[in-house]
Amino acid sequence: WSSDVWLFDQESFKDGNIDIISIVHQAGLASSRSEARRAVEQGGVSVNGEKVSAIDAVFPMELFEDGVVVKKGKKNFRKVTV
Could you tell me the pLDDT band of residue 3, with boundaries at 50, 70 and 90? low
DSSP-derived letter for residue 61 is G
* Residues 70, 57, 60, 8, CA torsion sign: positive
- Per-residue pLDDT of 30-73, as tens digits, reads 999 999 999 999 999 999 999 999 999 999 999 999 999 999 99
Q: Give the C-alpha separation, 77 to 82, whole Å.
A: 17
Sheet holding 50-51, edge to edge: 5-7, 76-81, 68-72, 45-47, 50-51
